Structure 1
Amino acid sequence: MANKILITEDNITTIKERLEKLHLTFSLDESEDEFSIGDSEIYIEFPEEDEYMVYSIADFLAYTENIDSIVKLNDSTVRSSRIVQTIININDFLFDSAGIKNNVVENENFTISLCSNPFLIGLIATKERIFDEDYGITPCSMYTVVEIIYKDETSVLNIPTETKYIKEFLFYLSHKYSTPISIGEFMTDGFRTDGTIDIEDISTDGKKIENTKISINNLLTYSNLMDMYVDAMSIGNKEIKFLYYYKIIEHCSPIVSKMKAYELLNRKLDLLPYNNRDYKYLDSIFELTREYDISLRDSELAYTVLLECIDIIQLYEFLPESIKRALSRKYKYENKNIKYDLELSKQNSIKHGISLILYATRNSIVHAKSNYSLTGDECNVDDLEDLNVFISKLCYCLIAWNNRQSETYRLK
């Protein structure tokens, strides 16, 4: 976290005083390990831990800079005067081996990163006795956190803004590493929800992974669509996962329809002072209204977002092979010719075909136990995992599309 600092004659008394205060304030065990001048690390003994937690002297001094300011904000977050630690749910193997902990967001006022063995969380868990040897719940090593470190106390953001940045960062990492990462809580039982990954896909070949510095401007603006996306990633059942992704389409489509309708209506009104308001002109406005109503039908939701928000040429490769073959037969094109010179009308036909597949698949899952009649457009069960890859990419595009919209239309 901080530059390397050694124990010196100038700071050893401060370190001892802070350790004593931690013992009195947070019931932290007094370490039996001695430390001396020249040491660069200090051992902290949290209760029920198998081993001492090791912190650099620089980190220890930063975490204990203002001990009286350390408070539990809620069941997820502990903060001091300029450091915030928020518990997250993350696959531990991924954190340790895939380089995810090397991603750092920074600007002139603060840094946001991930860390294990969170000192502030450990203090509160110790003070509140949030650990249980029988269930293997430890106060510190059990947790991974998002950590915000402010340059100084004058840079500290308000809590809603902090939370927004944290969720934007976690969404960025979830998408980058294809695994759900979300805000968690202190543990009160023996269970924990972690993301799932394919371990075979992760290998560093023993190489040191350098930090990846991320500009805060590269994070998409937070919206509840991000929470929905990470929730979908967390689902193991492939049918339920599909429905969770489809909910993002259902949330986006109405605003897309409204934007399109407003734009077309404004075009008609631009020259209103110079046009005769005859019946044909008024009928054209009624027609816009009818088209808008049609776009809001359940059967049209997927087509609306595919038509208005998506580059199908980029997404096409993620479709299951069986669906590619079915679409190419239906709309008479060759899969190898799916590129940017494909005529727009053909692209729109493909989008319509995909929308039928998504809608039919959704209905077949939702109405599986009722008298649902197959349409022939449903995705084969064996291909549903591959279709989930496609719809996840589609939903990410919708979140990016939403990010570009003005405040008037952007989903919050």
Structure 2
Amino acid sequence: MAQASNDSTLNDQFAALLSPEGWSLLATIDPSMVASKDSAWALNEKLRKEGHDAAVVRAVIAQAELRYRGRVKFGPFADTLIFTPAGLEQSTRLMIAGLHARRFEQAQSKHVADLGCGIGADSIAMSSAGLRVTAVEKDETTAAAVTLNLMPFENAEVRHGTAEDTDLTGIDAVWLDPARRTDISGSSRRLFDPEAFSPPLSFVEKLVDDGMDVGVKLGPGIPHEAIPAGAEAVWMSDHGSVIEVCLWFGKLKRQDIARAALVIDKNGAHELTSSVTVEQDAKAPVGELAAHIYEPDGAVIRSHLIGTMLEQTGGHLLDEHIAYFTHAEEINTPFARGFEVLAVHDYNVKKLRGWVKANGIGSLDIKKRGVDVTPEELRRILLSGSPKSAKNKATLILARLGEKRVAFEVLPH
């Protein structure tokens, strides 16, 4: 019942937003005017005093707040879009959508179906690239939003329906972003079984079997064994955050590439690739601790391309089950973050607490792999014995090496 109530509220808000009064009022609102709860409340009071309908004011302010949050993914372009809360949360960042669209350009696709288009980020990118786009969305309110968002593009159309029921006649390529969450008792929960996605991964495989060029965006945690044979899988991270894995089939797939890690940072995009699957890959070397420890980017870890990276950088793993690697030299790579090793401590909470106190540490960064501990809770415990006057900063890397748990005291490069 809670979900039905939420849907009804969203539909009512959308109807108020698209009324002549709501649409006109929205055009006068800069999203920065609702940057905080206090400023949003003040604007609400101002608009109500000016005589605007209360439901319209609520709808306009709610949309302005979504646009303000949307600037993180869409920059200034967010100020021209229409969002739903779920649509914004699940939408592709505009720059990443541009990378998706480039695949279809390079494959010389003509007409792309964006099945499960959400609020239309990928459809916008593909339409901007000159591709003909059919955007399909099963949620009625979201379909209305994407219709508004695609109005500037004569080469785009929107259909209200499901991916499975879409007529693909005349369409030569498909893009999918399956729903990977479900609502249970009003609470959104993440799905991990690819067959529970909407549409399921088996639907993607059927499209491929039918000869369609297909790209699909999935969560980065999908098991390698769940990836269909013949796919190119690209894990992507954006400024340290692993955001997705894309599977590419047909002409969208690059020749001789089975896996890739695409890392985007302030200096641009960097890619590691492999022509073989995880099962065919050689094991990365393992050895003793050297002067520096490196934490691979999450996309490199998820794609299991640490061995490929070590072929380029040198160095070796500390443990075959732990992603950290070590090197005698300070190296510069976009695929890992480096630390100089200052000391090695046993992982003993009492002794580490004494170390914190003795060194006047008031700020502590904790990283970990293979150790069952919550960094935030451990930080609280370790700093509890340090005086408020403590100003020094320190970084610990916790890891399990074989049966032993250790704490590396390190200095970030």
**TM-score, normalised by the number of residues in structure 1:** 0.23
- Between structures 1 and 2, the one with greater helix share: 1
Report 1 or 2 for greater relative contact order, CA contacts < 8 Å, sequence distance ≥ 6: 1
Instruction: Return the structure number with greater strand share.
Output: 2
Rg larger in structure? 1
